[in-house]
Structure 1
Amino acid sequence: MVGNLFIFMSFQMLIPTLPPYIKSIGASGTEIGLVTALFSIGAVLSRPFIGFMLEYKARRPLVLIGAVMLLLITFLYPLSQVVVIFLAFRLIHGLAWGWSTTVNGTAAVDLVPNSRLGEGMGYFGLSITIGMIIAPSLGIFLFQVTSFDNLIYISGALGVIALVLLGTIKYNTPNQVLTTKKADLKFTYLGSLIEKSGWFPAMLTLLINLGYGTIVTFIVIFGDERGIDQIFLFYLCNAILASLSRPVAGKWFDQKGPVGLVILTISITIMGMWVLSFAHSNVMIAIAGVLFGIGFGSLIPTLQSWTLSMTPPNRRGVANGMFFSSIDLGIGLSGLIFGVLAQFIDLGTLFRISSGFIVLALILTIAKGRRTKEVQQPKEALS
């Protein structure tokens, strides 16, 4: 968990700072947009291949290779004074990110007993949530007070710490994976992109991140428009409440299953989205952060645990790749769709419109819960 936190910190602090950097070396508006698009494409492209490898390879070398690749590409950025070369680095970075996130999540779930899957992945998910919340603010601060090269050195230092930590772990590779040979498997890109048993929670993840992506893209601009000078309160309250609520949500998952928990956390996330959309003060920003910490902070690891709980151990690498691709695609598509709409409507309205995707996820989950009860009741009557 701590090793993965440093991976996410090292990476996420670059997300808000690379666009202004590439602009400073002469990139056009379209080329700035490609900074995110090419990265997302790289991540989605690589995950089916690494998911396939996880069906027959031990965890340790794959985890360390991913950490080394991320570290190397991070240190290459200051060398890219030509826009085309920078964008090529960005695509390669996406390929490495897809590798690392898929492998690390799979290695983590292999260490957790199945009876405590929700709780264990809830703790592991803290590394993702806290990294995604804290690191962008840290990156913006460093970009403003120091040089881009120094920002890269700090990011790289975090990556080195991650590599050292991940190298100390005693990994657990399932026996079914150890006894499988590559020759026994047949690779198809679609077969390694989608794990059919976990498609439903992965689809919910895509829809929810289509809604959440507007916050990732526009919250700093939103704060400037509304004259809110303490926008960091959203991130701070989010991180604190996510950390406090995650263990509780994980135990709920293990004891009562995912459907009720997902319905509750989606509902709280929608509330947070609407409170944020009407915010004109630091207090409302903080309240929105609290709601997001409880809702979205517990929702994403719950969906990951749900996806993995429905998946055979030897296919968890594919399922993890599908889950993280759902996040990347959701946020990437959200930026494209709502980036166009943002030219015509205010950002508060944009947040409310994008919450429609999260509402759709809520409706589908409620329907799923009702169908599950209808199937269970005849079985109980027969027994």
Structure 2
Amino acid sequence: MEDRKPILWNRNFVQCCISYFLMNFSFYMLMPTMPVYLVEVLGIDTANVGIALSSYTIGLLCVRPFSGFLVDCFSRKPLYLFAFFVFAFMFGGYLVATAMLTIMAVRFIQGGFMGLTSVAGNTIAIDVIPSSRRGEGMGFYGLTINLAMSLAPLVAVTIYGKGGFYPVVSVGWVAAFVGVGSVCLIRYPKREKVPRPHFSLDRFILVKALPAALAYILVAIPYGMITSFVVLYGKEIMVADPGYFFIYMAIGVGTSRLVSGKLVDHGKIHWVSVCSSVCLLVTFAVFATVHQSWVFFACALMIGIGYGVGVPAFQCLFINVAPHNMRGTATSTYLTSFDLGVGIGMLSAGFIASCAGLATAYGVGAGCCLASLCIYLRWVKPSYEKHKLPD
């Protein structure tokens, strides 16, 4: 009886997973349908669609570094509830915004509050997960976003085909507000404002985790290349139905996360991280050079496994070096690193593709994974062992 593990799936953790799933589900319903709506209904030039869509990312990156500071200074649940409410409320803006500038404004504001919502939600989830099962818990928690990214586009495209863009927005709006209700059910103690020291970089960035942040940015770059250009790449190399890439990738992520978190909790954080980087390095190298349909989808599965294995380990690299009152900053640094890498990947893939083709871009992605692996072995591992805090 003494060795019985603490309960992971308690009421609070279940509600954290439900609310995070609904936040991402509602937002990712817009991803496949908004470009079509902007071009076909509003008549916005295709070249400007990317600008309109990227305003969300700009808003997110503007807020993320400060969101960790806010989460660490104020009561986390009220802040989470407020940010989630504003994020949900902004869906109404898509029903009245009919010009590019107004749509950009709505996406910028919603992106900013999504950044704050995700940091607050991640931090609360970390707080309610037993420390001995943190890797496993964060693996399941992160799986909710993969489920949302897989299911939301399918639902959204079906609704759009039958009723257009406004029903898609309405369903997303309802899902987001149900998520707000789920947050209300989380039993989380109120937390008084914590006095902070005078101005320092640690207010906004977890300095002790900077080596891990650099390695994570590099490994996120090819992920940005995948999410934005893999369908075009599939068409280039004559793959039938390249959109199924994301289904295979989601399967890889889902299956690998069932075991990776447990390995992290058993002290194998470095082994898991290195295996993830090696898997991604080899897979992207094959993906860039072997142009056959079965290889294309096999690589999708392996890329999903690589990221599914690595994400819980990388998140623990940030969380385990932060004291409790800086977990918000740690989460913010972790998420900002990934977002920055994804953004670099999106921009660089387009530039490289225009000069040398998408195959070359994915070859560069493999190089990024190699650089990340070298940085991990040289700096991240010793830095983590030096600064890791007891549970």
TM-score in terms of structure 2 length: 0.86
Question: How far apart, in 2, do the equivalents of 1:305 and 1:70 lie?
Answer: 27
Percent identity over the alignment is: 25
Question: How far apart, in 2, do the equivalents of 1:269 and 1:106 lie?
Answer: 28
Compared CA separation, residues 251 and 235, structure 1 to 2 (3 A):
same
Decide whether the 8 Å contact of 1:111 with 1:172 is kept in 2. Answer: no
Compared CA separation, residues 232 and 51, structure 1 to 2 (3 A):
same
Question: How far apart, in 1, do the equivalents of 2:311 and 2:154 lie?
Answer: 21
Question: How far apart, in 1, do the equivalents of 2:29 and 2:336 lie?
Answer: 20
Look up the equivalent residue of 1:253 and give its one-letter code.
V
Partner of 2:309: 298
| 1:338-357 alignment, distance < 5 Å | 338-357=349-368
Question: How far apart, in 2, do the equivalents of 1:137 and 1:247 lie?
Answer: 24
Decide whether the 8 Å contact of 1:52 with 1:187 is kept in 2. Answer: no
Question: How far apart, in 2, do the equivalents of 1:357 and 1:287 lie?
Answer: 21
| 1:323-362 alignment, distance < 5 Å | 323-362=334-373
Tell me the CA shift for residue 277 of structure 1: 3.1
| 1:100-249 alignment, distance < 5 Å | 100-171=117-188, 178=191, 180-181=193-194, 184-185=195-196, 188=199, 190-249=201-260
Tell me the CA shift for residue 86 of structure 1: 1.0
Partner of 1:67: 84
Tell me the CA shift for residue 144 of structure 1: 4.6
Decide whether the 8 Å contact of 2:53 with 2:104 is kept in 1. Answer: no
SS of the counterpart of 1:342? Answer: helix
Look up the equivalent residue of 2:125 and give its one-letter code.
A
Report the more deviating stretch, 235-244 or 147-156: 235-244
Look up the equivalent residue of 1:337 and give its one-letter code.
S
Report the more deviating stretch, 114-123 or 221-230: 221-230
Partner of 1:310: 321
Partner of 2:97: 80
| 1:24-43 alignment, distance < 5 Å | 24=40, 25-28=42-45, 31-43=48-60
Partner of 2:29: 13
Tell me the CA shift for residue 160 of structure 1: 2.6
SS of the counterpart of 1:318? Answer: helix
Look up the equivalent residue of 2:82 and give its one-letter code.
I
Compared CA separation, residues 158 and 271, structure 1 to 2 (3 A):
farther
Deviation track 1:325-352 (CA, whole Å, cap 9, x = no partner) reads 1122111122222212222233222212
Question: How far apart, in 2, do the equivalents of 1:9 and 1:351 lie?
Answer: 28
Question: How far apart, in 2, do the equivalents of 1:273 and 1:144 lie?
Answer: 34
Compared CA separation, residues 110 and 219, structure 1 to 2 (3 A):
same
Look up the equivalent residue of 1:5 and give its one-letter code.
F
Partner of 2:263: 252
Question: How far apart, in 2, do the equivalents of 1:348 and 1:8 lie?
Answer: 30
Tell me the CA shift for residue 8 of structure 1: 1.0
Deviation track 1:249-296 (CA, whole Å, cap 9, x = no partner) reads 111112124222111011112233234334655432331122122211
Look up the equivalent residue of 2:342 and give its one-letter code.
I
Decide whether the 8 Å contact of 1:233 with 1:289 is kept in 2. Answer: no
Decide whether the 8 Å contact of 1:44 with 1:98 is kept in 2. Answer: yes
Partner of 1:2: 18
Decide whether the 8 Å contact of 2:139 with 2:258 is kept in 1. Answer: yes
Question: How far apart, in 2, do the equivalents of 1:3 and 1:114 lie?
Answer: 21
Question: How far apart, in 2, do the equivalents of 1:14 and 1:33 lie?
Answer: 14
Decide whether the 8 Å contact of 2:75 with 2:193 is kept in 1. Answer: no
Compared CA separation, residues 319 and 372, structure 1 to 2 (3 A):
closer
Question: How far apart, in 1, do the equivalents of 2:381 and 2:82 lie?
Answer: 44
Tell me the CA shift for residue 40 of structure 1: 1.8
Compared CA separation, residues 147 and 180, structure 1 to 2 (3 A):
closer
TM-score in terms of structure 1 length: 0.87
1:53 aligns with 2:64: no
Partner of 1:379: none
Partner of 1:289: 300
Report the more deviating stretch, 195-204 or 77-86: 195-204
Tell me the CA shift for residue 165 of structure 1: 2.1
User: What is the root-mean-square deviation in Å for CA atoms of aligned residues?
Assistant: 2.6
Partner of 1:381: none
SS of the counterpart of 2:21? Answer: helix
Tell me the CA shift for residue 314 of structure 1: 0.5
Decide whether the 8 Å contact of 1:275 with 1:287 is kept in 2. Answer: no
Gaps of 5+ in 1: 376-383
SS of the counterpart of 2:32? Answer: coil
1:23 aligns with 2:39: yes
Between the two proteins, the alignment pairs up a number of residues equal to 370
Compared CA separation, residues 314 and 78, structure 1 to 2 (3 A):
same
